[in-house]
Amino acid sequence: MDKFAPVKRSEDGQPVRYLIVDDSVFARKNLARMVETFGGQVIGEAGDGISAISEYERLIPDIVLMDITMPQMEGIEAAEKIVRDHPSARIVMVSSVGYQENIVAALQRGARHFVQKPVKPEVLYEVIKYVMRDDGTTVRTAGAGA
């Protein structure tokens, strides 16, 4: 996997803290592996929308990576409920179902961005940097680059 310059929180220089939400354990592991190469820290995981909401409340992560098609409660509904209570929540939808209506619905309900599966690390990295913007900083290290 490519070497990426770590993205840190600008307020304290600590790693960006992620909550990963996907009904597939396999997909969660892959996303976790990917964000760790960006210098991030996975602080929680959830397998459906309902757990995502309770995990968000408990952990208050910097970024949520949220699947759409999940059992019990889908990702768009979970994103809407999280953003309603936490307007500053940064939620990035990560789904294989990326048709226009779905993307528009997710963004209208408070998601900050959309990444289509299969996820390319370089695409997710740029999205993370964009979503963090003023609250994130890229730390240049020897040999690091995206």
How far apart (Å, rounded) are the C-alpha atoms in residues 83 and 146? 30
Residue 4 C-beta: closest distance to another protein, Å: 15
From residue 67 to residue 106, the character string flagging contacts with another protein as x (rule: CB under 8 A) and all else as - is --xxx-----------------------xxxxxxxx----
Residue of 116, 126, 135, 146 that binds another protein (CB under 8 A):
116
Q: Is 14 in the site for another protein (CB under 8 A)?
A: no
In the complex, what is the shortest distance from the CB of residue 96 to another protein, in angstroms, rounded to a whole number? 3
Least distance between another protein and beta carbon 41 (Å): 19
Residues 6+ apart with CB under 8 A from 127: 92, 113, 115
The span from the CA of 131 to the CA of 93, in Å, is 12
Cα–Cα distance for residue pair 40/105, rounded to 1 Å:
28
SS3 57: helix
Out of 7, 27, 35, 106, the only residue in the binding site for another protein (CB under 8 A) is 27
As given in the structure block, the two tokens for residue 140 are 């240049």
What distances in angstroms separate CA 20 from CA 84, 92, 134, one per listed residue?
A: 19, 10, 22
In the complex with another protein, the residue whose CB is nearer, 69 or 141, is: 69
Site residues (CB under 8 A) for another protein?
A: 1, 23-27, 29-30, 33, 69-71, 95-102, 116-118, 120
